[in-house]
Homo-oligomer: A and B are copies of this chain.
């Protein structure tokens, strides 16, 4: 038996799926020292080359579990600079068509609705499978850090030194990890796997038993296996539905688990069912979701012999639903089956030192299409907060907002998912909207709610340290700052100054022009995920002398050595900015001279000259129309406003050009004065 090595690291991520990799993007970008381990040794589950032409279908040889189809995820990808690539590769979803049995019980096309309501976002829903999403995230991580995923490594013990959890420099979490000599030897625990040579996800489905303990036993018995003890400041469990980290911190999944079993089949359909597009995917593939369990009259699912589940049984079930149309396929690249349940972990964190994210802390039905998306959004929320605390820029109290914000979203999602799943599961497949079924209006409403989820527009974080809005009038006691010294409840943004920029929600994106070269940019493109807080100065009509003086006075106040901009900004921050001040004015572009504006709004560098990329204008572009940003943001050009935007693009605060003192108090409640 090998010796146990020991080492230190700022963050240890357990699990390299979408949630783990999204967390790694922040840490890589902000220069945090981290490690990321995954018990699987390789990402490709099926190594067999099939007969297909490789160039066209090479994705079909890759493992596939989930697919991204959320516009909000695209906005995050865009802020990482990989949105356009994923968008181009993905299948775009534009229309949903409903098919129902007619009087003679024959299917007919009963209606169609738009998939993403127009105007919600410049990205619409699109599908691309998980492996490719992971590829893009890995590519980003590789461009910003030399750190690589350590595969074939699993944790075997975790302990927290609770006496040290509040000490800044401490490494209070110890995890012993074990290198697996045969990491890809997954026990085949249900019979279906044996029935199909096609790559499938049964072994990691919730129908399969957790194999972690078996794997660990095997490894311990192997002389080649060695262990390492990692002392970490923070540990994040992104280790899926059977989360090992969850068990260590005593978090329990709470909620329902049903008996309904559904199957999933990714095929290129050959059918006379016209324009068959159940869930269209990239490269001509189509995903079918098929209920496998029989349902009796009390709407209770009967038991099914799980060993019967195979692509053939799934195809038979689908064919029954589509009759009299026929369905077959030559290319199936993946399939699985799962049991429906909606549950949320009882806690998201232990001492804000060990965190859970993704499937490790919430599960819901894949049909709502939110699994991978919500998982990535979890760690997109956590990553910048961890980085700020580790860098000594923010107080540890900031970390409490992870659990409150993400637990709220998980709860909202599973409530939606319960409704959504009942639409499909509680009734025979052929009468979803039949005479005794749900009416089309209800059906459409549920779909529209789903669209809001995937667009991210339904996320509205509650008041907190970093969301400066009034407490709701529900009699609850206001949130306090936990371990923080300052009571933040008194800083409240002035929402009426920008009615189109709700505090606690993601900032909407409209087009503005660069003052210097007239190039149009979506505001979103100006907010890359680099860890910076943005101070958006909507300066209004600065041709007006009164407004111009207010703008100049703001510049002077920001420039003062006492302002938050200087107090909390570390020296030598050029690599990883802390604050970025962007101006968006509303005067005609050609009437404003960039270099006549106060220097702080377009800083000068001895090396690089003036910064031409900090001042923008709400004006007509040459080729791409007028963004009407002030109108859309509900800002009066005669007054303007200042908006504080979090590094994850959520809105913290809105105030007047004179409210620098309020901003000082806001940042003072969780940021640390730098030497």
Contacts and interface: CB of A to CB of B under 8 A. Distances in A.
A78 to B, nearest CB: 12
Interface stretch (A269-277, A531-539, A540-548, A645-653): A269-277
A330 B607 CA distance: 6
A115 B519 CA distance: 11
Interface string A102-132: 0000000000101110100000100000000
A99 to B, nearest CB: 14
A241 B274 CA distance: 59
B95 A88 contact: no
A94 B275 contact: no
A617 to B, nearest CB: 13
B609 A275 contact: no
A548 B604 CA distance: 66
A595 interface: yes
Contacts of A566: none
Given A112-B590, A590-B112, A623-B118, A271 B609 contact: yes
Interface string A487-520: 0000000000000000000000000000011110
Interface in A240-269: 268-269
A595 B270 CA distance: 13
Given A274-B593, A518-B94, A118 B284 contact: no
A274 B595 CA distance: 6
A115 to B, nearest CB: 8
A519 B92 CA distance: 7
Interface string A297-314: 000000000000000000
B94 A517 contact: yes
A268 B623 contact: no
A517 B277 contact: yes
A275 B622 contact: no
Interface string A209-231: 00000000000000000000000
A612 interface: yes
Contacts of A590: 112
A116 B609 contact: no
Nearest to A144: B55
Nearest to A121: B623
Most buried by B among A330, A331, A623: A623
A277 B271 CA distance: 59
A606 interface: yes
A399 interface: no
A655 interface: no
Nearest to A575: B53
A157 interface: no
Provide the main secondary structure of the chain A interface: loop
A595 B275 contact: yes
A673 to B, nearest CB: 28
A64 B621 CA distance: 31
A594 interface: yes
A517 B280 contact: yes
A148 to B, nearest CB: 19
B622 A118 contact: yes
B284 A518 contact: no
Nearest to A286: B609
Given A84-B84, A517-B95, A608-B284, A116 B593 contact: no
B268 A609 contact: yes
A84 B84 CA distance: 9
Contacts of A92: 517, 519
Contacts of A621: 94
Contacts of A112: 590
A631 to B, nearest CB: 19
A593 B108 CA distance: 13
A85 to B, nearest CB: 8
A516 B84 contact: no
Interface string A598-623: 00000000111100100000000111
22 contacts: A84-B84, A84-B88, A92-B517, A94-B517, A94-B621, A94-B623, A112-B590, A115-B622, A116-B622, A124-B623, A268-B607, A268-B608, A270-B606, A270-B608, A274-B593, A274-B594, A274-B595, A275-B593, A284-B609, A284-B612, A330-B606, A330-B607
Interface of A: 84, 88, 92, 94-95, 112, 114-116, 118, 124, 268-272, 274-275, 277, 280, 284, 330-331, 516-519, 590, 593-595, 606-609, 612, 621-623
